[in-house]
Structure 1
Amino acid sequence: MKKVFLLLLLSATASVSFAQSISLGIKGSVNLASLNNKYSYTTLRSSMGSITSFAIGAFADLRLGNWSVQPGAYFAGKGGKESQFISATDIVGGYSAKLNPFYVQVPVPVLYHIPVVAGEIFLGAGPYAAFAVSGKITGSSTYAQEGDPGFESQTTNIDRNLKFGNTEGDDLKSRDYGATFLAGFKLTNGILLSANYDLGISDIAVNGSGVKRHNHVLGFSVGIVF
């Protein structure tokens, strides 16, 4: 992860050296976030869904001709909904929960700008790195002993802060990295309308949990360049 942050920092520093112009901007977005889960348990069935969150932050646009590098820093919501059902020889049940972690995210996309009437179209891609700072998990779980009529099913409500780390009892790893893809339109007055897709590459599931998790986020943004 340190290598990823170093690469992002070097990319941004090199871009400043060659930039013909530098602009600053702010941007906010509505995020449709989901988790891509892969389980190793053959007795477990699962389904996933998306949640609505948000992102807000600032960026610099380092321009060189029709190209630019746009490093930024954002407070970004990710996560998703997940439901699990397990049927084994001794237990049956499952749980349904919504995970809503928030990250400080640093993307460094490279953009190509196409001049059009009233502004320009831009599109591009690049790496991002993110560090979890807060989050909640809400839902419920119900389990019962299979084949034992005297054992009543027990339901437990879930409503607590997410635990970040990589040891037993933690919910998610604190670090995430991947690729961001974006496209949009900038008006001549500096207003931006854009869409982005963040594809998580790192496995944010805790080691030994029997699952691999990756963040996927589709965002729709409004911003302004000064």
Structure 2
Amino acid sequence: MKKFLLSICCAFAVTSAFSQTTYGVRGGIGFASLSSSSGNLSVGSGSTTTFAAGLFADVKTSTNVSIQPGIYYAGKGGNYKSGGVEADFKTYYLQVPVNVVYHVPATFGGVYFGVGPYVAFGLNGKVKASDGTNSESMDVTFGSDGDFKRVDAGFNGIAGFEFKNGFLLGINYDLGLTDIGNDGTAEVSTKNRVFGISAGFKF
């Protein structure tokens, strides 16, 4: 983990050698859910509201195309209701996406959209269970003996508006491709899904 974080820091430092590299901050709310499947049967959870915030670099490779690596504290999870009992999972990851972004110039600034892979490492989380009368909150754990596997990976898409003053408005979608479930069997596969709305600023 430490080696991985060091390599990410080095990658950000190397981008400073490019004259067309800019940096930014981005944050917003997310509507996260969990998708579980077994054979031909697929079941999705309800959504839980969470958030994400972090930093990114924008490295121009041509007039309209750039590479955007980033590092974010990103929320995921899901909400389950059954028999009058509700369980709300909120999990938080250190997420590193690398997007290829296409920029379309406009009078106000421009429109952007992109796609790329991400890898995320589970840090912490909470599950709150309630039957309408009583509620209980417990920690969510990651790792071989935890509630979820430590690593999540998949693809994410981004789109939005970039204004001339550097202000950003956008949406994003994370499509988890790895099974994060830790039930000890391969019969059920559980994956993260997140739709987000964000605002930010590019310097």
1:172 corresponds to: 148
State whether structure 2 residue 103 is matched by structure 1 residue 103.
no
Residue 192 of structure 2 is aligned to residue 215 of structure 1: yes
**Equivalent of 2:115 in 113, 116, 125:** 125
> In the TM superposition, what is the alpha-carbon distance from 1:19 to its structure 2 partner?
4.8
CA 36–46 in structure 1, closer or farther in 2 if over 3 Å, else same: closer
Aligned to 1:51: 48
Matches within 5 A, 1:44-193: 48-64=45-61, 65-83=63-81, 96-140=86-130, 158-167=136-145, 170-193=146-169
Distance 1:116 1:134 in 2: 41
Counterpart position of 1:91 = none
The alignment partner of 1:173 has SS state of coil
Query: Could you tell me which residue of structure 1 aligns to residue 175 of structure 2?
Result: 199
Q: Distance in 1 between matches of 2:43 and 2:112?
A: 38
> Quick one: structure 1 residues 39 and 98, their matched pair in 2 at CA, closer, same or farther if it must change by over 3 Å?
farther
Q: How many residues align?
A: 193
The 5 Å alignment of 1:24-39 reads 24-39=23-38
Instruction: Name the larger-Rg structure.
Output: 1
User: Please, which runs of 5 or more residues in structure 2 have no aligned partner?
Assistant: none
User: Any idea what the Cα deviations from partners look like across 1:81-130, whole Å, max 9, x if unmatched?
Assistant: 12457xxxxxxxx9531110000100000000010111011111000010
Distance 1:28 1:122, change over 3 A: same
Return the letter of the residue paired with 2:149: K
Instruction: Give the alignment's TM-score, normalised by structure 1.
Output: 0.75
Q: Secondary structure at the match of 1:108?
A: strand
CA contact 2:112–2:161 (8 Å) conserved in 1:
yes
Once superposed, what is the RMSD of the aligned Cα atoms? 2.9
What is the alpha-carbon distance in structure 2 between the residues aligned to residue 37 and residue 215 of structure 1? 9
**Cα 1:67/1:106, change in 2 over 3 Å:** same
Shift of 1:56: 0.6
Give me the whole-angstrom Cα distance separating, in 2, the residues matched to 1:19 and 1:187.
22
Could you tell me whether the CA contact under 8 Å between 2:37 and 2:43 is conserved in 1? no
User: SS state of the match for residue 109, structure 1?
Assistant: strand
Deviation for aligned residue 1:211: 2.6
Q: Could you state the TM-score of these two structures normalised by the residue count of structure 2?
A: 0.84
List runs of 5+ in structure 1 lacking aligned partners.
86-93, 142-155
Q: Which moved further from structure 2: 157-166 or 23-32? A: 157-166
Is the CA contact 1:23–1:225 (under 8 Å) kept in the aligned structure 2? yes
- For 2:141 and 2:28, the matched residues in 1 are separated by 25
